[in-house]
């Protein structure tokens, strides 16, 4: 089922009585989440991800704007009546109940015409447990499970009511690195198998990029960009998005455009059009550098880090906004860090320029 967010806004009143500074946690969010897709809601801590999710769930009421599930306006509907499954960072299982009882819990609370008989409930609980592959653990207590297993129970409990929408708020944050990787793939598999429209909140760009059909990048309550992960990575709308996506992160330089030439410091790296003369911010993805004897960009090499298939050349440049410039080069290349300079050509589709004041993208063509 599709979810429509229409001018969705949440303003929290000031916590401090002396100041009247209210917090605009979510600022005029508009988006139609397509049916059956997994959407990654991504941004740094405090940007309004959880607040957006809580409004979709009904746990928080919007200050203004509307939410539709399909064609139904659910803005005023209570959480229980929205048909959602919710999973949080801290698994929030009942410690005194077994896994089976935890999963059964939401079904036992169904009332009126939704009430199920015992056999149906057990069958549904078993199916949910099987979907997340914990059917062997049904008689254990949460304390007898690993973090990853506990989170699977929480997911099973969210799925057992066969929700129309699955909402996950940083569900992997409490897991160690390897389990995080494995569990995110599991979530993707379950989402594909069930076809439930899912919103997955995370501050981890790699996590969001790897499992989402589409990502929404937020900053201070404002949506910055929405698109397929690869499209947003390849075509960031502004400096914030360019910097937020990618590991190692994009290299940022101070530069300028003069007479159709793009300069990084005194290095004339590219001829571009049609951009008027101005100072700009330049971003180059680490994979955008090509070692070249006559390359226009001259960096001072510091170190080469081995990454297996690739190497990362760490260098410096006077116009770099960061202490180091990091390029990723195929390990077959021989790099001599004792030389004065490494010289690079830049792949045109891996370099972005941004307005120095607004930090919005400036589009150009290579001459
Ligand atoms: P995220 O999940 O992206 O880290 P949140 O949605 O939790 O961000 O918070 C967004 C902003 O709203 C933050 O500035 C946060 O301090 C503020 N905020 C969240 N909940 C409340 C609340 N109940 N009262 C006041 N301010 C809040
Ligand atoms: Mg949050």
Residue 313, classed as helix, strand or coil, is strand
Closest-CA residue, ligand 1 atom 6, reads 48
Give the nearest ligand 1 atom to 54 CA. Answer: 6
Residue 20 main-chain phi, psi, to 5 deg: -105, 20
Closest-CA residue, ligand 1 atom 11, reads 25
Does position 109 have pLDDT exceeding 90, yes or no?
no
Closest-CA residue, ligand 1 atom 26, reads 12
Ligand 1 mean position to 12 CA, how many Å?
Answer: 8
Does position 107 have pLDDT exceeding 90, yes or no?
yes
In sequence order, the β-bridge partners of residue 23 are: 12
**Model confidence pLDDT, tens digit, residues 309-322:** 899 999 999 999 99
- Would the CB of 26 count as within 6 Å of ligand 1? no
Cis amide bond preceding 248, omega within 30:
yes
What pTM does this model have?
0.93
CA 259, 262, 268, 273 dihedral sign is negative
- The residue extents of the domains of the chain are 3-244, 251-366
Average pLDDT value over all residues in the chain: 94
Residue 210, classed as helix, strand or coil, is helix
Give the nearest ligand 1 atom to 50 CA. Answer: 2
How far is the CA of 159 from the CAs of 7, 103, 163, 190, in angstroms?
Answer: 29, 9, 6, 10
Give the nearest ligand 1 atom to 10 CA. Answer: 12
Give residue 174's pLDDT: 84
Ligand 2 mean position to 10 CA, how many Å?
Answer: 14
CATH of 3-244, one of 3.30.70.980, 3.40.190.10, 3.40.50.300, 3.40.640.10: 3.40.50.300
- Would the CB of 48 count as within 6 Å of ligand 1? yes
Residue 300 — left, alpha, or beta (φ > 0 → left; ψ -120 to 50 → alpha)? Answer: beta
Closest-CA residue, ligand 1 atom 5, reads 48
- Stated as kind and residue range, the H or E segment containing 166 is strand 165-169
Task: Sort strands 361-362 and 351-355 into parallel, antiparallel or unpaired.
Answer: antiparallel
Question: What is the residue-wise DSSP string for 31-81?
Answer: EEEPTT-EEEEE-STTSSHHHHHHHHHTSS--SEEEEEETTEE-TT--GGG
- Where does 195-309 show beta strands of DSSP type E? 197-202, 214-219, 222-227, 251-258, 261-264, 267-273, 278-284, 289-291, 297-306
Ligand 1 mean position to 215 CA, how many Å?
Answer: 20
Ligand 1 mean position to 55 CA, how many Å?
Answer: 12
Q: In residues, how long is the chain? A: 367
| Share in percent of the chain as helix, strand, coil (round to 5) | 30, 35, 35
CA distance 341 to 137: 59
CA distance 168 to 53: 8
**Model confidence pLDDT, tens digit, residues 128-147:** 999 888 999 999 999 999 98
Does position 366 have pLDDT exceeding 90, yes or no?
yes
Using the 8-state DSSP alphabet, how is residue 268 labeled?
E
Task: Sort strands 351-355 and 278-284 into parallel, antiparallel or unpaired.
Answer: antiparallel
Q: What percent of the chain has pLDDT over 90?
A: 83
Q: Which of 15-29, 179-193, 234-248, 310-324 is predicted with the least confidence, judged by mean pLDDT?
A: 15-29
- Would the CB of 12 count as within 6 Å of ligand 1? yes
**Model confidence pLDDT, tens digit, residues 43-70:** 999 999 999 999 999 999 999 999 999 9
Q: What percent of the chain has pLDDT over 70?
A: 100
Instruction: Please list, residue by residue across 245-262, b when 16 or more beta carbons sit within 10 angstroms of its beta carbon and e when fewer do.
Output: bbebbbbbbbbbbeeebb
Does position 18 have pLDDT exceeding 80, yes or no?
no
Ligand nearest to C-alpha 14 = 1
**Model confidence pLDDT, tens digit, residues 200-252:** 999 999 999 999 999 999 999 999 999 999 999 999 999 999 999 999 999 99
Q: Once rounded to an integer, what is the mean pLDDT over residues 241-268? A: 97
């Amino acid at each position: 089922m599709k979810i429509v967010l229409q001018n969705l806004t949440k303003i929290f009143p000031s916590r401090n009585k002396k100041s009247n500074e209210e917090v605009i946690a979510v600022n005029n969010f508009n988006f139609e989440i397509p049916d059956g897709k997994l959407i990654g809601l991504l941004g740094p801590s405090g940007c309004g991800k959880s607040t957006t999710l809580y409004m979709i769930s009904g746990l928080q009421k919007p200050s203004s704007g509307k939410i539709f599930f399909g064609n139904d306006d659910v803005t005023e509907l209570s959480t229980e009546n929205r048909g959602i499954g919710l999973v949080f960072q801290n698994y929030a299982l009942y410690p005194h109940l077994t896994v089976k009882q935890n999963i059964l819990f939401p079904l036992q609370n169904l009332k009126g015409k939704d009430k199920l008989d015992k056999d149906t409930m057990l069958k549904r609980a078993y199916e949910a447990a099987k979907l997340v592959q914990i059917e062997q653990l049904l008689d254990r207590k949460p304390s007898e499970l690993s973090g990853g297993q506990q989170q699977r129970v929480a997911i099973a409990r969210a799925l057992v009511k066969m929700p129309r929408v699955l909402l996950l708020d940083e569900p992997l944050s409490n897991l160690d690195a390897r389990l995080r990787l494995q569990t995110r793939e599991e979530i993707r598999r379950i989402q594909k198998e069930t076809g439930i429209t899912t919103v997955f909140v995370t501050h981890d760009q790699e996590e969001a990029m790897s499992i989402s059909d589409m990502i929404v990048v937020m900053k201070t309550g404002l949506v910055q960009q929405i698109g397929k992960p690869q499209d947003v990575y390849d075509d960031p709308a502004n400096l914030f998005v360019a910097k937020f996506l990618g590991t190692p992160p994009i290299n940022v330089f101070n530069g300028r455009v003069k007479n159709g030439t793009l300069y990084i410091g005194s290095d004339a790296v590219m001829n571009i059009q049609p951009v008027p003369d101005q100072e700009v911010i330049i971003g180059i993805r680490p994979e955008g550098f090509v070692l070249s004897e006559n390359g226009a960009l001259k960096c001072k090499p510091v170190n080469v880090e081995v990454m297996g298939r690739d190497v990362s050349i760490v260098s410096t440049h006077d116009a770099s906004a960061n202490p180091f410039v990091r390029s990723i080069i195929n390990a077959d290349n021989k790099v001599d860090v004792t030389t004065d300079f490494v010289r690079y050509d830049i792949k045109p589709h891996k370099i972005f320029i941004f307005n120095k004041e607004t930090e919005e993208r400036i589009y150009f063509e290579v001459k």
